[in-house]
Structure 1
Amino acid sequence: MAFAAGNMKSLFVITQHGADSVVDLLPTILAKTDLRVAGVAFLTWRPARPRQLGHTVLDRIRIYGIRAWAIRQVLGLWGRVRLPLRAYRLRATLKAHAIPWFTIDDVNDPKFLDHVRRLGPDCVLCIFALQRFGPELLSIPRIGCINLHLAHLPECRGLHSSFWNLYNGERESGVSIHFMNGRWDAGPIIAERRFPISPGETVHSLDRKKLEILPSLLSETLDALMEDRVIPREHDPQRGAYYSVPSYQALVCFRKERGGRWL
């Protein structure tokens, strides 16, 4: 898939409903006063398939340990209270900037694709949307679709990267922004920032480090796209691995056998 050159003037955002990071990244996008945000689409959560393992309280205590499990319960409750407030803040900001937003169930729905096509964005930004972009969506923006990925590429593609970084005993991690080409995290890299994994790192602390890096990396990427100085770097997905949701066995092994910590 070819990615067009040219100064980016308009951007369309697709994100996951309830993704906290959108609230934190929106100021970075809105700070680019020469960039028009054509719209924001919130992708609804699809019901998860029932799990055979890992769904009881005892299972979860085995996975996290009793202390981390208890803290996660409190954080989960706080998150449920906080979510409507952050959603209200986000939508108020969009309204204040006259940015249209709407909710979708499928990024590849023909009606949604027609809507994006009418808006005519130069670029589509994917912020943690959990659906694969089909060929038609990828072909709509003049410059291309770009994705934010919380890991270094090509070594760590897929989901739950901080968990897998620590599970595998890796010495470094990172954050990447890349063009999308229809395969998970396999498109040319636009920008990347790597850092060493500190001794005693936890899944939570590693996630936080990545999210703290993301706004500045996104800002630099948007500037480069607007000024037409992006030089995409191809990478070989075969050099790395694709990781999915950890199995129950891997989750238990992480804490009990590999000494991993969540919090």
Structure 2
Amino acid sequence: MGKLRTVFMGTPDFAVPCLDMLVKEGYPVAGVITQPDRPKGRGQKLAYSPVKEAALAYNLPVLQPASIKTVDSYNQIAALNPDIIIVVAFGQLLPKKLLELPAYGCINVHASLLPKYRGSAPIHWAIINGETTTGITTMYMEVGMDTGDMIAKAEIPILPTDTTGSLHDKLQDLGAAVLSDTLRQLAANSAPREVQQESEATYARMLCRTTERIDWHLPATAIHNLVRGLNPWPGAYCTYQNKSLKIWQTRVHDASHSCSIPGQIIQITKTGLVVETGKGTIELLEVQPESKRRMKASDCVCGYCLTVGNLLE
């Protein structure tokens, strides 16, 4: 048969390479579903999602329902007559009726090696938890959160230098490649179905302000991973003199150093500030004082009176 007639559902940057692949490989994209325009920036002007921008550049029809669960939304998508619906970081759970609409089902591209890290923030949590590998999984969607049968996987290492930003960019390109292979298997009726093992499932819960706050009683390696996992969004932070201090880049200075006062600055270096933790010391390399720009930690020493003996809370 020819290429599957596709409806694509996605919203952020992560989803764009998958849409690019569909267009470049000649899949008939009957429509693109994305989240409504949102206020953005200081002026709070309505802004298109990255997927909407890409879809309009390809002259593809765009739908932006406030809720995908309404009768009107279902009827609009049904009218597009899709063979398959592809969902990549769309941002809403699909109802059962919509999941059952296309003959080839609804296929999701997820940024983890399922069943680990189901949920909304798999890239962040893989780094925060100190994982050394991650990857992409494509799966048949069902009503549960990332619980459907798996089709294909591809694994990549998480480098010690990776942040959520750098890993995101690698995975979005890998996602497009895995989706391409998955669609070829589906069209040839050779796609496998592997049931997820519930006993191995973990969840990547949504990030919150509590997650972002640094607990200096944790080991230096755990704090370093938190900083990497929250870069470039939303950022890890502590407080100094009752003001927020975001920490954007760190390195483990001494993983085994015996510490007495977690959060205390014990050394000023050419590159930054060395801080005691619950186990070992960590060097702050890039920081952002409240209402200021990001800067090298060494530049923050003079301008913000940070010195040996100060306590970060």
TM-score by length of 1: 0.74
| In 1: Cα distance, 2:207 partner to 2:216 partner | 13
- Measured against aligned partners, the alpha-carbon deviations of 1:42-62 in whole angstroms (never above 9, x if no partner) come to 222789xxxxxxxxxxxxxxx
Answering whether residue 8 of structure 2 is matched by residue 13 of structure 1, we say yes
Q: How many Å apart are 1:238 and its aligned residue?
A: 3.3
SS of 2:64 mapped into structure 1: strand
Partner of 1:112: 73
> CA 1:93/1:198 → structure 2, altered by over 3 Å: closer, same or farther?
same
Partner of 2:19: 26
Structure 1 counterpart of 2:89, from 118, 128, 133: 128
| In 2: Cα distance, 1:84 partner to 1:39 partner | 16
Q: Output the amino acid matched with 1:38.
A: A
| In 2: Cα distance, 1:163 partner to 1:249 partner | 15
Larger fraction in strand: 2
Partner of 1:42: 34
5+ residue gaps, structure 1: 1-5, 48-75
CA contact (8 A) 1:94 1:100 kept: no
Q: How many Å apart are 1:183 and its aligned residue?
A: 0.5
- Measured against aligned partners, the alpha-carbon deviations of 1:222-258 in whole angstroms (never above 9, x if no partner) come to 2222222211211123312122212333322488831
Q: Output the amino acid matched with 2:36.
A: T
Q: How many Å apart are 1:94 and its aligned residue?
A: 3.3
> CA 1:13/1:241 → structure 2, altered by over 3 Å: closer, same or farther?
same
| In 2: Cα distance, 1:112 partner to 1:133 partner | 11
Partner of 1:154: 115
| In 2: Cα distance, 1:90 partner to 1:199 partner | 32
Q: How many Å apart are 1:131 and its aligned residue?
A: 1.0
- Measured against aligned partners, the alpha-carbon deviations of 1:179-220 in whole angstroms (never above 9, x if no partner) come to 111101110111111122222322222222212312211211
Q: Report the number of matched residues.
A: 222
| In 2: Cα distance, 1:168 partner to 1:106 partner | 33
| In 2: Cα distance, 1:151 partner to 1:127 partner | 13
Q: Output the amino acid matched with 2:7.
A: F
- Identity across aligned pairs (percent)? 23
- Measured against aligned partners, the alpha-carbon deviations of 1:72-131 in whole angstroms (never above 9, x if no partner) come to xxxx97xx99x6696785244332xxx322221111110111122232211111121111
Partner of 2:179: 218
Q: Output the amino acid matched with 1:194.
A: E
CA contact (8 A) 2:32 2:55 kept: no
Larger fraction in helix: 1
SS of 1:43 mapped into structure 2: coil
| Larger-gyration structure (1/2) | 2
Larger RCO: 1 or 2 (CA < 8 Å, sep 6+): 1
Partner of 2:204: 243
| In 2: Cα distance, 1:220 partner to 1:251 partner | 37
Structure 1 counterpart of 2:57, from 93, 118, 121: 93
Partner of 1:138: 99
Q: Output the amino acid matched with 1:217.
A: V
Partner of 1:183: 144
